[in-house]
Amino acid sequence: MHKAPKIGLVSLGCPKALVDSERILTTLRAQGYEFSRDYAGADLVIVNTCGFIDSAKAESLDAIGEAIKENGKVIVTGCLGVEEDLIRKTHPKVLTVTGPHQYEQVVEAVHETSPPIHDPFVDLVPEQGLKLTPKHFSYLKISEGCSNRCSFCIIPAIRGDLVSRPVASVLYEAERLVKAGTKELLVISQDTSAYGQDIKYASTPFHGRQVKAKFFDLCAELGELGAWVRLHYVYPYPHVDAAIELMADNKILPYLDIPFQHASPTILKAMRRPANTEKTLDRINSWRKTCPDLAIRSTFVVGFPGETDEDFQMLLDWLDEAQIDRAGCFEYEPVAGAKANEIKNVVPDEIKRQRYEMLMEKAQQISVERLAKKVGRTIEVLVDDVNLEENQATARSKWDAPEIDGNVIIDNASGIKPGDMIEVKVHDSDAYDLYATPEIDCADQQAER
Ligand code: SF4
């Protein structure tokens, strides 16, 4: 049997710091760690510091020095953690420095040095955590909250500003999920392309390498884990362009979920949308040049207060040009507390409905044409469901996210199981789905993998 790693903890400072220490200990205990009362018995030591006044700082620095001398492996957290330069100058051997309330970072730093031992016979929770999705796909939440202030949205008021997770924490979670059978990671947040801005793109160690909490770096690292990586809620900031290269290189899926919401500059301004530039169409064209297989999904709002016939026509014309592969549409609904409620010229409900229908018709027309171009191609799909009675399987291609996009309907499903990744030849299409036949016998395909 493997022995659980033992952690030592020195807790300094006020009762708030003590509560932080208790939370760290609680999380570690739930993950199977044990604790040591002395330096010698510990695999590593966490020092929770105080930085309130100079004497408290000096006491914290002394405690760090003692832990390094007696044990050697030291993680520093707490209030003095905001003075990382001072800590590293005084004690260069410190492994990781985190600030107050950064429980997750502390726990990740512990994992990095002394990984938890998962015991399937004793642990109540599997190593990858509990999931509500099928085993073969998993959502990966990279941040909480949002620092934008779109006028129709109250999420920042409910969830607060953007708080990005440390990149190592995201990557270790993704790695655990892939190890447990996940074949598709769906990256989610309120604003995926803003990832890391709030933590100044801080690096954290992932398998001994420092990785930056940056959108591109995160995508590149996820692209090495051997699963499909699908990006949701991306805003077209200029730095997104670099991720298109990863898509062209087959590192991550050629799929972007960008909630454009509208195309009229007047409406976008009234909506206070982030990354709203007039050059969006040029950007989309250049992305498609780099990665011709790119599928773009987006949502649009019709009937936003002040939307004129011209604004709406601009949106329809834009859709024609942008050729959005998968478009969803909502009729504008006021949300209590949203700034947009103050905008005059509310659009009557019947006009909203008409515009909704016109937009969906346009979107469907585009989808029919774009899917028809895929007929004849051999593509890789991930199987979600198998209906043995009908000898049919429902799968998704790299262009389809679960629940929101279309499917690939496979005839001759013998030998296929949910979670299989197989090659199929597309023989037909309609407005939303593709129809395909397995390239070779599915059992053979699975045996080849
Ligand atoms: S709609 Fe705007 S404010 Fe709301 S979560 Fe999305 S980006 Fe943030």
Report pLDDT digits (tens) over 165-208: 989 989 999 999 999 899 999 999 999 999 999 999 999 889 98
Q: How far apart are CA 324 and CA 316, in angstroms?
A: 11
CB 323 within 8 A of CB 368: no
**pLDDT, mean of residues 138-143:** 93
Q: How far apart are CA 232 and CA 298, in angstroms?
A: 10
Q: How far apart are CA 407 and CA 391, in angstroms?
A: 16
- Give distance in angstroms: CA of 271 to centre of ligand 1: 10
Protein residue whose Cα sits closest to atom 5 of ligand 1: 190
> Does the pLDDT value for residue 122 go beyond 70?
no
CATH topology for 378-448 is OB fold (Dihydrolipoamide Acetyltransferase, E2P) (2.40.50)
Shortest-distance atom of ligand 1 to CA 272: 2
Q: How far apart are CA 243 and CA 252, in angstroms?
A: 8
Shortest-distance atom of ligand 1 to CA 147: 8
> Does the pLDDT value for residue 150 go beyond 80?
yes
Q: How far apart are CA 365 and CA 359, in angstroms?
A: 10
Shortest-distance atom of ligand 1 to CA 146: 8
**pLDDT, mean of residues 152-159:** 86
And the tokens for 7? Answer: 């952690």
Domain coordinates in residue numbering, the chain: 6-113, 137-372, 378-448
Q: What share of the chain is helix, strand, coil (3-state, %, to 5)?
A: 35, 20, 40
CB 273 within 8 A of CB 154: no
Between residues 6 and 105, the one the model is more confident about: 6
pTM: 0.82
Percent of the chain with pLDDT over 90: 71
What pLDDT, on a 0 to 100 scale, did the predictor assign at position 275? 65
Report pLDDT digits (tens) over 397-418: 999 999 899 999 999 888 999 9
Q: How far apart are the first and last CA of the chain?
A: 32
> Does the pLDDT value for residue 443 go beyond 60?
no
Pocket test for ligand 1, best of 142, 147, 155, 271 (most atoms within 8 A of CB): 155
Contacts of 130 (CB under 8 A, 6+ apart): none
Lowest mean pLDDT among 11-20, 144-153, 343-352, 421-430: 11-20
And the tokens for 296? Answer: 């773009």
Q: Which stretches does DSSP call E strand in 127-232?
A: 137-141, 143-144, 163-164, 184-188, 203-206, 209-212, 228-231
CATH topology for 137-372 is pyruvate-formate lyase- activating enzyme (3.80.30)
What pLDDT, on a 0 to 100 scale, did the predictor assign at position 409? 97
Pocket test for ligand 1, best of 154, 191, 260, 304 (most atoms within 8 A of CB): 191
Report pLDDT digits (tens) over 321-346: 999 999 999 999 888 888 998 888 89
- Give distance in angstroms: CA of 247 to centre of ligand 1: 25
Beta bridge partners of residue 387, listed in sequence order: 392
Report pLDDT digits (tens) over 251-280: 999 999 999 999 999 999 999 987 666 689
Q: How far apart are CA 194 and CA 216, in angstroms?
A: 11
> Does the pLDDT value for residue 59 go beyond 90?
yes
Contacts of 44 (CB under 8 A, 6+ apart): 5, 7, 8, 71, 73, 74, 75, 95, 110, 113, 114
Our CA angle for 126, 127, 130, nearest 5°, is 50
Q: Is 333 exposed, middle or buried (0-12, 13-18, 19+ CB in 10 A)?
A: exposed
What pLDDT, on a 0 to 100 scale, did the predictor assign at position 159? 82
Q: How far apart are CA 227 and CA 137, in angstroms?
A: 9
- Give distance in angstroms: CA of 152 to centre of ligand 1: 8
Count of other CB atoms within 10 angstroms of residue 311: 21
Q: Please count the CA atoms within 13 angstroms of the CA of 264 that sit on its side-chain side.
A: 20
Domain at 6-113: CATH architecture: 3-Layer(aba) Sandwich (3.40)
CB 224 within 8 A of CB 178: no
Lowest mean pLDDT among 11-15, 42-46, 367-371, 424-428: 11-15
Shortest-distance atom of ligand 1 to CA 152: 1
Residues in the ligand 1 pocket, defined by CB under 6 Å: 146, 148-150, 153, 155-156, 190-191, 274
CB 329 within 8 A of CB 359: yes
Q: How far apart are CA 431 and CA 363, in angstroms?
A: 9
Protein residue whose Cα sits closest to atom 7 of ligand 1: 148
At residue 354, what is the residue type? Answer: Q
Between residues 133 and 266, the one the model is more confident about: 266
Count of other CB atoms within 10 angstroms of residue 239: 12
**pLDDT, mean of residues 89-113:** 89
* Segment of 105-119, 346-360, 429-443 carrying the highest mean pLDDT: 346-360
Average pLDDT, the chain: 91
